[in-house]
């Protein structure tokens, strides 16, 4: 005789299915970074005379800035305060490689000049390229504007000085490569230069990196745009490659400085974590001015120096520490230059 329990009754006695949650992927473990001193010389001994010939005074016995793990300087002239620092990235420190970024400040009568550069990671001696480019460009601008050219009424003089600095930097790199038997690509570097003279600021750039112009009314603009290809992060032009000097000179921008509260120059080790830089340059500058209240700030950057930088008793050290900020995947060398006009407040 068939079982009297109906099919529907049998189904009613089954327990309902309980959905099983998918396993949650564990967050990737953070890398353990070490700090390893470079083993190879910053500049081979047999090239030292050639280096001094193209960039006199770049490396002095009492000042090892280009060779250091981190370095910086500050200066003031005619109502402007300038601060620059460069720090070796965690990846280079972990591998025992040299810092490939460089930064420079110079003062002269009626003005100043600043430059930052990022040596190409694929170029064997890009650290020398970046150091030579910033040194020669700023010194040439200073010489052009300082010696016998104190007439601040010539609006074209600043542009000519910046063009001369760019040309001299390119020539020095090519000359050094020829003297040392290097290919031009071995010295590849970006270059971003700014100079003030006669109430105006001029800027020029080749390669990536970023500048930000902070106006007294709180607005922020990016006066220059780096030369990159359609593929994000791929630089189209490096000094001293063929054609790069033309792009550098053509990038020249000159602005009236009356309402400039601050100017920021950054290599891509700073630009990339704070991308898009035009949007985040304001919060970045506010951090340097006032410090950080939250551990994670604009752009998802975790601060390593929450105190104000620009008003610190030792702003060079403070900026070097600030450059140790963290953001996952961002471990490049970092160079930042901050230039402020005294008495012109940035009021967003």
**pLDDT value of position 15:** 46
**Can you give the pLDDT at residue 1?**
52
pLDDT for the residue 30: 62
Q: Which residues does residue 296 pair with via DSSP β-bridges, in sequence order?
A: 302
Residues 132 and 176: beta-carbon distance below 8 Å: yes
Question: What's the confidence (pLDDT) of residue 155?
Answer: 63
Specify the pLDDT at position 341. Answer: 98
pLDDT mean for each 10 residues of the chain (348 residues): 47 50 60 83 94 91 68 95 96 93 94 97 96 98 77 76 97 98 98 96 96 96 68 73 95 96 97 94 94 76 93 97 94 97 92
CATH class of 66-341: alpha beta
For 220, what's the count of Cα atoms within 13 Å in the CB-facing half-sphere? Answer: 20
* C-alpha dist (Å) from residue 286 to 203, 218, 289, 309, 316: 23, 11, 5, 10, 17
Question: How many whole angstroms separate alpha carbon 99 and alpha carbon 93?
Answer: 8
The pLDDT of residue 8: 44
Q: Give me the sign of the Cα torsion angle 131, 66, 123, 206.
A: negative
Q: Residue 28: what pLDDT?
A: 60
Look at the alpha carbons of 306, 194, 72, 262 in this order and tell me if their dihedral is positive or negative: negative
Confirm whether pTM is higher than 0.85.
Answer: yes
Task: Determine if the peptide bond prior to 276 is cis (ω within 30°).
Answer: yes
């Amino acid at each position: 005789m068939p079982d009297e329990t109906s099919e529907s009754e049998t189904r009613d006695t089954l327990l309902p299915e309980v959905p099983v949650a998918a396993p949650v992927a564990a967050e990737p473990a953070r890398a353990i970074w070490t700090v390893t001193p470079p083993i190879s010389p910053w500049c081979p001994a047999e090239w030292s005379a050639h280096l001094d010939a193209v960039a006199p005074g770049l490396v002095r016995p009492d000042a090892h800035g280009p060779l250091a793990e981190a370095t910086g300087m500050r200066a003031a002239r005619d109502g402007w305060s300038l601060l620059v620092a460069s720090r070796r990235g965690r990846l280079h420190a972990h591998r025992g490689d040299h810092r490939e970024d460089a930064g420079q400040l110079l003062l002269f009568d009626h003005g100043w000049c600043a430059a930052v550069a990022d040596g190409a990671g694929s170029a064997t001696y890009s650290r020398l390229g970046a150091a030579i480019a910033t040194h020669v460009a700023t010194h040439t601008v200073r010489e052009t504007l300082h010696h016998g050219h104190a007439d601040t009424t010539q609006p074209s003089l600043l542009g000519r000085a910046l063009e001369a600095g760019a040309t001299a930097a390119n020539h020095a790199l090519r000359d050094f490569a020829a003297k040392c038997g290097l290919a031009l690509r071995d010295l590849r570097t970006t270059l971003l230069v700014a100079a003030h003279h006669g109430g105006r600021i001029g800027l020029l750039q080749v390669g990536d990196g970023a500048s930000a112009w902070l106006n007294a009314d709180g607005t922020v603009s990016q006066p220059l745009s780096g030369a990159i290809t359609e593929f994000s992060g791929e630089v189209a032009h490096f000094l001293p490659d063929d054609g790069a000097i033309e792009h550098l000179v053509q990038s020249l921008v000159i602005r009236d400085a009356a309402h400039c509260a601050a100017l920021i120059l950054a290599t891509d080790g700073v630009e990339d974590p704070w991308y898009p830089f035009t949007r985040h340059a304001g919060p970045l500058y506010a951090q340097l001015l006032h410090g950080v209240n939250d551990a994670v700030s604009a752009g998802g950057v975790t601060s390593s120096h929450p105190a104000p930088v620009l008003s610190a008793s030792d702003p060079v050290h403070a900026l070097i520490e600030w450059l140790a900020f963290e953001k996952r995947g961002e471990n490049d060398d970092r160079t930042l230059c901050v230039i402020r006009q005294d008495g012109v407040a940035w009021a967003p």
